[in-house]
Amino acid sequence: MDRNLIRKALGAKVQFIQGDEACAYGALLAGCTFFGGYPITPATEVAEVMARLLPKIGGCYIQMEDEIASIAAIIGASWTGAKTMTSTSGPGFSLMQENLGYGIMTETPCVIINVQRSGPSTGQPTLGAYGDMMQARWGTHGDHEIIMLCPANVQESLDLTITAFNFAERYRTPVLVFIDGELGHMRERVIIPEDDEIAIVNRTISNVSPDEYVPFGVNGDLVPAFAPFGAGYHTYVTGLTHNEQGLPRASSAEVHNRLVRRLADKILNNTDDIVLYEELETDDCEILLVSYGITAGVCRDVVATARQRGVKVGMLRLITIWPFAEEAVARLAQQVRMMIVSEMNMGQIIHPIREAVAGRCDVRLISKIGGALHMPAEIMEAVEQWR
């Protein structure tokens, strides 16, 4: 891929763009050359940018007939060796669940952007929400781990989409990037990073001959080397429980155990690399605001206001949602008196937080649904009332 073409397609280094557009920019910078998708508010601008820019860099954009086909297309295209992405919102993400599991089971690197709106069902198309946080974790059936990142602003939407591609390539698995309708349509300044400012990870390509190639065989790091379709290697790709050769062994407890536990362990053994979070004023805080996504900016204001009033408030901002930042939450639970979790849903991430806290401090929820962001004043009022 010609980096100069990407730079030329993206345009000026400093731009005033939407969160959706920033996700698309991040994908192109990460080396994405294939996008299969179906338009849906509030995610359509991701697809629009990809449709406009991918042809300019020699990539391919396909508008599929629906979201089931969209994720199928990016999984298939990924097997040619391409970096691939789709974008959608809640109703489309629901349709993608079966193939999300297929991507996990077949160890297919790809990135899915979900610009969340409220549900259930068609819900509020033009408004933001974070109601798919648990669906991301358990929406597809069966035992599995998933990687999901939650940017808090437009610049981070670009930066973390690059990170998502890197995780997808490094761990050979689908990676989710979740923003919401508010952030997806919000504009902020974005500075497009230079190539020497970004790390780009590419999947490990098999370097053995086709005769010696074991498609799902692993050494130390639990992630098999990849052989793209068309390179002369034979790979049988199936969602059935399969052995290292990729052949179905759907009745074998042993093969299933080995495969599914390896798929989980390749993520769980690398949480030091994958689990990202930010702490603000946590050194001496007695009340901890736990936040993620666009709500984090609101909580940042509340921390500043509370500190001005002499209340020891800090913030833990979850950047990686899955796998969950258990250690950070457990550590802070020993220090603080209370955690206040502000969510644009009826309480989803509060559940793994309570599990990690395990009764060591009070955990309270400020739930907001209907499309509006939390106001700083309403979180501050709760802090004053509950302190």
Partner 1 sequence: MRQEIRICGFGGQGVVTAAVILGKAAAVFDNLVATQTQSYGPEARGGAAKAEVVISDGPIGFPAVVAADVLAAMSQEAFNKYKQDVKIDGVIIVDPDLVIDHHADQPIYCVPATRIAEELGNPIVANIVMIGALTAVAHPVSWDAILASTLESVPARFKDLNQRALETGFEAGQAVASGNGRAAASVDRDSR
Q: Which of 52, 56, 141, 187 binds partner 1 (CB under 8 A)?
A: 187
Q: Which stretch binds partner 1 (CB under 8 A): 21-29, 96-104, 300-308, 320-328?
A: 300-308
Where helices occur in the chain by DSSP H, the ranges are 3-10, 19-30, 44-53, 67-78, 90-95, 97-105, 133-138, 154-171, 181-185, 253-268, 271-274, 295-308, 326-333, 350-357, 376-386
The tokens describing 7, both together, are 């730079």
Count the residues of the shown chain that bind partner 1, applying the rule CB under 8 A: 24
Does position 304 bind partner 1 by CB under 8 A?
yes
CB 260 within 8 A of CB 143: yes
- Closest approach of Cβ 294 to partner 1, in Å? 7
Q: How far is the CB of 185 from partner 1 (least distance, A)?
A: 7
Q: How many CB atoms are closer than 10 A to CB 344?
A: 27
Cβ at position 18, least distance to partner 1 in Å: 9
Site for partner 1 in 75-134 (CB under 8 A): 125-127
Among 111, 186, 267, 366, binds partner 1 (CB under 8 A): 186
Cβ nearer to partner 1, comparing 222 with 303: 303
Hey, is 218 helix, strand or coil? coil
Query: Contact with partner 1 (CB under 8 A): which of 77, 298, 349, 382?
Result: 298
The residue range among 62-70, 111-119, 178-186, 337-345 that interacts with partner 1, by the rule CB under 8 A, is: 178-186
Q: Which among 218, 236, 379 is positioned nearest to 295, based on CA atoms?
A: 379
Would you state the structure tokens that stand for residue 259, as one six-digit string?
Answer: 């495969």
Answer for which of 299, 306, 361, 365 binds partner 1 (CB under 8 A) is 299
Q: Is residue 280 close enough to count as binding partner 1 by CB under 8 A? A: no
DSSP string for 282-304: -SS-SEEEEE-TTHHHHHHHHHH
Residues 350-379 that bind partner 1 (CB under 8 A): 373, 375-377
Say how far apart CA 319 and CA 181 lie, in whole Å: 18
- Interface residue list for partner 1 (CB under 8 A): 14-16, 125-127, 182, 185-189, 294, 297-302, 304, 373, 375-377
